[in-house]
Amino acid sequence: MKIMVFGGGTGLSVLLRGLKKYTKDITAVVTVADNGGGSGILREDLGMLPPGDMRNCITALADVEPSMLKLLQHRFKDGYLQGQSFGNLLIAAMYEIFGDYEHALKEIGSIFRLSGKVLPMTLTDTHLKGQLENGVVIFGEKEIPIYSKNLQSQIDRIYLVPSHCEPLEETISDIEKADIVILGPGSLYTSVIPNLMINNISQKIYNSKCKTFYICNLMTQPGETDSFNVVDHVKAIQKHTGINIIDFVIANDQVLCESIMKKYNQQGSAQVLIDGNQIKKLEDKNIKVISSDFVDIKKDYVRHNSYKIGGLIEKYVLKKGHFKL
């Protein structure tokens, strides 16, 4: 079972941990427009692609001892390297040694015995520009949700800077070979959609023989998807791709307990729940909906049950389109 996954952030790495139980042939394509945190510092200082999302995916797909995973995710607490992760520095070092990301990531994949591979969405030095509904334009992935929240104006559209960015040839080849393409989960405007705006990617997915699944976020994200439901997430993707590349939506229908909701509400997040009205609207767009309890709560953090989703995807491939939740 060959799976292509497009996204970024914590949501994608959580999903990958579940998927690798079912297949060792995963291609994770991650956004590289981050300009904040340790990744942003390395990007500015060394002129490299931001490594943070690539590091998270490498860690998720790795088959090594727990101590090695801890090493990859370790952040320095003091001195000049304070806040920087060892994994980011490793990617930077491998890039300097081999001179290009494709070779560097292949070597890292071999060292950590990945269940597949991790690819950047493009090798171009890419940034994001967001236009809010009030017309204000904001430059920088980190700044877009901050200004959206502070100005109380939702994101209308995201742009790549430069506007024309080429994908890796390996990404195009893997789309053509894939059994399944998965979009998300992850920040809608700053992780999922940017991958689909790379030149020719959406069209390649649309023209491929495989089916495309969109895993909708469990919670809204302040400054990015405030008040969004499942349909709103799908509409945003369609608005930016110009075509309907989604065949299935995986969405949660389980209401969270009051204590968990209180914590997230205080942070400005609300649940994204599917209902009958939304299912009808999506089916009218020729999109099938798979709804169930997809929530996994660990240490009061809401995450997708990636093992359940992985099993669902496997059943689809093996039984050629028939699901049993």
User: Sign of the CA dihedral 106, 111, 112, 113?
Assistant: positive
Phi, psi of 31, rounded to the nearest 5 degrees? -70, 145
What pLDDT is stored for residue 279 in this prediction?
98
What pLDDT is stored for residue 323 in this prediction?
56
CA distances from 102 to 39, 192, 315 (A): 18, 21, 32
From the list 3, 116, 136, 18, the residue with the least C-alpha distance to 62 is 116
Distance between CA atoms of residues 131 and 290, nearest Å: 32
pLDDT band at 118 (very low <50, low <70, confident <90, very high): very high
Averaged pLDDT, 175-187: 96
- State the pTM of this model: 0.94
Phi, psi of 251, rounded to the nearest 5 degrees? -135, 150
Tokens of 83: 């806040």
Averaged pLDDT, 210-235: 97
Averaged pLDDT, 119-131: 96
217 has a pLDDT exceeding 90: yes
Of the listed ranges 60-74, 127-141, 211-225, the least confidently predicted one is 60-74
CA distances from 47 to 126, 233, 310 (A): 11, 33, 36
From the list 274, 289, 272, 295, the residue with the least C-alpha distance to 221 is 272
pLDDT band at 160 (very low <50, low <70, confident <90, very high): very high
What pLDDT is stored for residue 317 in this prediction?
85
Domains of the chain and CATH, by start: 1-31+164-325 (3.40.50.10680), 36-116 (no CATH)
325 has a pLDDT exceeding 70: no
324 has a pLDDT exceeding 80: no
10 has a pLDDT exceeding 90: no
What pLDDT is stored for residue 300 in this prediction?
87
Tokens of 160: 């790549």
pLDDT band at 319 (very low <50, low <70, confident <90, very high): confident
What pLDDT is stored for residue 151 in this prediction?
97
In single-letter form, the type of residue at position 203 comes to Q
Averaged pLDDT, 203-211: 95
User: Sign of the CA dihedral 303, 307, 198, 35?
Assistant: positive
Higher pLDDT, 214 or 325: 214
Q: How confident is the model over 16-75, as pLDDT tens digits?
A: 999 999 999 999 999 999 988 888 889 988 889 999 999 999 999 999 888 988 999 999
Q: What residues does 249 pair with on adjacent strands?
A: 214, 289
